[in-house]
Amino acid sequence: MSEPLSGRRILIVEDESLVAMLLETILEDMGCTPVGPAANIDEGLALATDDAALDAALLDVNVAGRQVFPVAEALKARGVPFVFSTGYGEGGLPDEWRGQPTIQKPFTEAAVRDALMAAVGVARA
């Protein structure tokens, strides 16, 4: 069975190296091409506003002590769907970002896949 997300370029913004490596592995297992990971907001913004094609992004809400929302705004302006990851779940998001696909840490590969599929509008098989 072919992976529904295969071939997609997914930006990772995550400051914890072990979590970033886990996400890279999960994405590669799904046939995606990880972009990054960006370990801080400035790197994330640079990658989010770069001309390179992005199909979606996984954004840790708290990156090295800063909120990831400037990166989310940049992606939103480009029409790139994204998924927040946070230890607090959707309840930890400001009101204006509620309703965005969100995965709670610690997450499973299935949670990442389902959230990305929801973000990019791919129906589950």
Q: What is the pLDDT of residues 47-97, one digit of tens each?
A: 999 988 999 999 999 999 999 999 999 999 999 999 999 988 888 899 999
Q: Give a yes or no: residue 2 inside a domain.
A: no
* Closest among 113, 94, 93 to 23, alpha carbons compared: 113
Residue 28 DSSP symbol:
H
Q: How confident is the model at residue 1 (pLDDT cuts 50, 70, 90)?
A: very low
pTM of structure: 0.94
User: Where residue 102 sits, what CATH number does that domain have?
Assistant: 3.40.50.2300
The DSSP bridge partners found for residue 38 are 13
Q: Give a yes or no: residue 3 inside a domain.
A: no
Q: Is the pLDDT score of 120 beyond 80?
A: yes
Residue 98 DSSP symbol:
T
Cα 47 from Cα 56, distance rounded (Å): 12
* Closest among 94, 117, 104 to 19, alpha carbons compared: 104
Q: Give a yes or no: residue 59 inside a domain.
A: yes
Q: Give a yes or no: residue 35 inside a domain.
A: yes
Q: Give a yes or no: residue 110 inside a domain.
A: yes
Q: Give a yes or no: residue 4 inside a domain.
A: no
The total number of structural domains in the chain stands at 1
* Sign, CA torsion 13/18/23/29: positive
Q: What is the pLDDT of residues 8-58, one digit of tens each?
A: 999 999 999 999 999 999 999 999 999 999 999 999 999 999 988 999 999
Structural domain boundaries, residue 80: 9-120
pLDDT at residue 2 in the model = 62
